[in-house]
Amino acid sequence: MRALLGAAVAVCCLLAAVPARAQDAAAIVAKARDQVDSGNYADALRTLSALKSKNVPPQLAVEAGLLETTALLVTNADAASQACGRAIIAAGYDPDVARDLSPKVRDACRAAAKKVRGERVAGDKATIGKLEIEAPEVAFQPVRLSTTVENRPAWLRMVARVESSGIEGAFDVPLIPSDEGPLLGTLDPSWIRPSAKLSIKLVAQDRFGDLNEAVETRKVDVPAAEAAVALGTVPDGAKVTLDGQVIVPDGKGRIAAPAGKHEVAMSLTSGAYAEAEIELSKGEVARLALAPQAPSPSRALPWVATGTAVALGVAGGVLLINSEARRSELEDAAKEREPGTDLPANDFSTLQDIDDERKLFQYVGIGLLSGAGAVAVTATVLWLVPVGGGSSSSASIEPVISPGFIGARGRF
């Protein structure tokens, strides 16, 4: 029974010790405050030294650090910054912990903040990796950023601070943890202006802002083109045109182009040719596969011969029809008689003229039909000859006109 009673008393004393220590610390800080206010800086430093062996609550630790800084600025200025550093750490690394104090104290704490905050990442044994940038192929294309942080504490934030010659001012892009591990961020395409020069800084932050200077700075030059066509491997000697203008692809087979509709063509030294239409948007790199093909051999000569045969046949047929009409006209004229007599109504010369026209139409019509037949035979031969089977310069067709004959002569 006595043992249980003794244990209970010990627990009560232990529980009472925590608020008692807090009360002792508060009393020490209050005393030091009065001493600083009255100008007894050396006494204040001796009073505050009693806190080093105590577990001081953060709020009291902040005030104690600021009181010590104020006193040291008078007695030992070199140590003032170190004292304020302890206040900053106690305040959760707040760089403006001395915002309400004198300018001298604020200056000392500003220097302390730069030091202790700059050491915060290393103090938590975190290691920041390199900034990786996926450079844009054309303007108005999103730029992807990434980095890694080993042993990343929960309070640590990483941002990419971007400055662009095409946009006034700077802007931060948060790098967000991903399932794959790296911290990722993306620059909006509207920021990636043609020919702009980007400066991208990797900056570590906590909830109060930047911890130190940029961890790393990278430069990126944005291409002047707002879109491009990727042709892949371009054969040696190939000629590429964009909207009819000859253009030389870069080493990756890409040609720059503005947004909109375009016609892209490629021709080889062998005569092979291919073309395609494509529509590009800003920031787009469109893949286009052109496969030049040899041009189909010309069949113009057979078509010309066929057309000639048809034309000659039609003309000959029309003339023969006219010849038959003149024959009927001649017979009717020969039968006509003078009224009331058996004498012919038309003299011999009139009948001779009609007969001469008939003969002319007949002979020319027969000649045209003969020529049509000859040209038709020629056309048939041309259609039967395999395309590309011989030299195109060795085949020819020409009309032949002679007395009583109209036709064509061919050479193959």
The pLDDT confidence band at residue 27, using thresholds 50, 70 and 90, is confident
Whether residue 305 is found in the same domain as residue 375: yes
Under the banding of pLDDT at 50, 70 and 90, the label for residue 299 is: low
Percentages helix, strand, coil for the chain (3-state, rounded to 5) are 45, 25, 30
**Are 102 and 138 within one domain?**
no
Whether 68 and 166 share a structural domain: no
Write the pLDDT tens digit of every residue in 92-102: 999 998 888 88
pLDDT for res 332:
67
CB neighbourhood size of 60 (10 A)? 18
Assigned domain for 10 exists: no
Residues 316-329 have pLDDT tens digits of 677 778 777 777 77
pLDDT value of position 321: 84
Q: How many CB atoms lie within 10 A of CB 84?
A: 31
User: To the nearest whole number, what is the mean pLDDT of the chain?
Assistant: 80
Same domain, 149 and 183: yes
Same domain (yes/no): 315, 395: yes
pLDDT for 274-292, tens place per residue? 888 999 999 999 998 888 8
In a domain, 295, yes or no: no
Last residue of a domain, one of 221, 242, 263: 221
CA-to-CA separations, 399 to 319, 365, 383, in angstroms, rounded: 19, 16, 18
Phi first, then psi: give them for residue 316, nearest 5 degrees. Answer: -65, -40
Side chain identity at residue 247, one-letter code: I
Quickly tell me which residue has 């007949």 as its tokens.
362
**Within a domain: 5:** no
Q: Averaging pLDDT over each range in 50-64, 81-95, 198-212, which range is the top one?
A: 198-212
CA distances from 183 to 87, 150, 152, 158, 389 (A): 32, 11, 11, 8, 67
Q: End of a domain among 67, 86, 118?
A: 118
104 and 24 within one domain: yes
3-state DSSP assignment of residue 188:
coil
Same domain, 33 and 105: yes
Task: Please state the three-class secondary structure of 130-183 as a single string.
Answer: CCEEECCCCCCCCEEEEECEECCCCCCEEEEEEEECCEEEEEEEEEEECCCCCE
- pLDDT of 156 above 90: yes
Position 32 in a domain: yes
What Rg do the C-alpha atoms of the chain give, in angstroms? 52
Predicted pLDDT of residue 4 = 34
What is the mean pLDDT of the segment spanning 205-214? Answer: 90
Whether 21 shows a pLDDT value over 60: the answer reads no
- Dist. CA 75–CA 55, nearest whole Å: 26
Structural domain tally of the chain?
A: 4
Are 234 and 304 contained in the same domain? Answer: no
**Tell me: the pLDDT tens digits for 227-280?**
999 988 888 888 999 999 999 998 888 999 999 999 999 998 888 888 889 999
Residue 37 placed within a domain: yes
**Confidence at residue 146, expressed as pLDDT on a 0 to 100 scale:** 95
Does some domain include residue 73? yes
Is pLDDT of 309 > 90? no
For residue 250, CA distances in Å to 231, 235, 240, 256, 283 come to 10, 13, 11, 9, 18
Pairing of strands 285-287, 227-230: parallel
Listed residues 85, 118, 151: the one ending a domain: 118
Q: What is the average per-residue pLDDT within 292-307?
A: 73
Residue 292 lies in a domain: no
The pLDDT, as a whole number, for residue 313 is 77
- 112 token code pair: 């302390």
- Exposed (0-12), middle (13-18) or buried (19+): which is 32, by Cβ within 10 Å? buried
Q: Does the reported pTM lie above 0.75?
A: no
Residue 90 carries which DSSP code?
H
The domain containing residue 280 runs over which residues? Answer: 227-287
> Are residues 150 and 94 both part of a single domain?
no
Instruction: Check whether residue 231 and residue 250 sit in a common domain.
Output: yes
Q: Using CB atoms within 10 Å of the CB of residue 287, give its burial: 0 to 12 exposed, 13 to 18 middle, 19+ buried.
A: exposed
Q: Is the pLDDT of residue 1 over 60?
A: no
226 vs 24, 166, 246, 260, CA distance in Å? 70, 14, 19, 10
399 inside domain: yes
Residue for token digits 């002979």?
Answer: 363
Q: Are residues 237 and 213 in the same domain?
A: no
Shared domain for 307 and 405, answered yes or no, is yes
* CATH value at residue 188: 2.60.40.10
Name the phi and psi angles at 47, rounded to 5. Answer: -65, -45
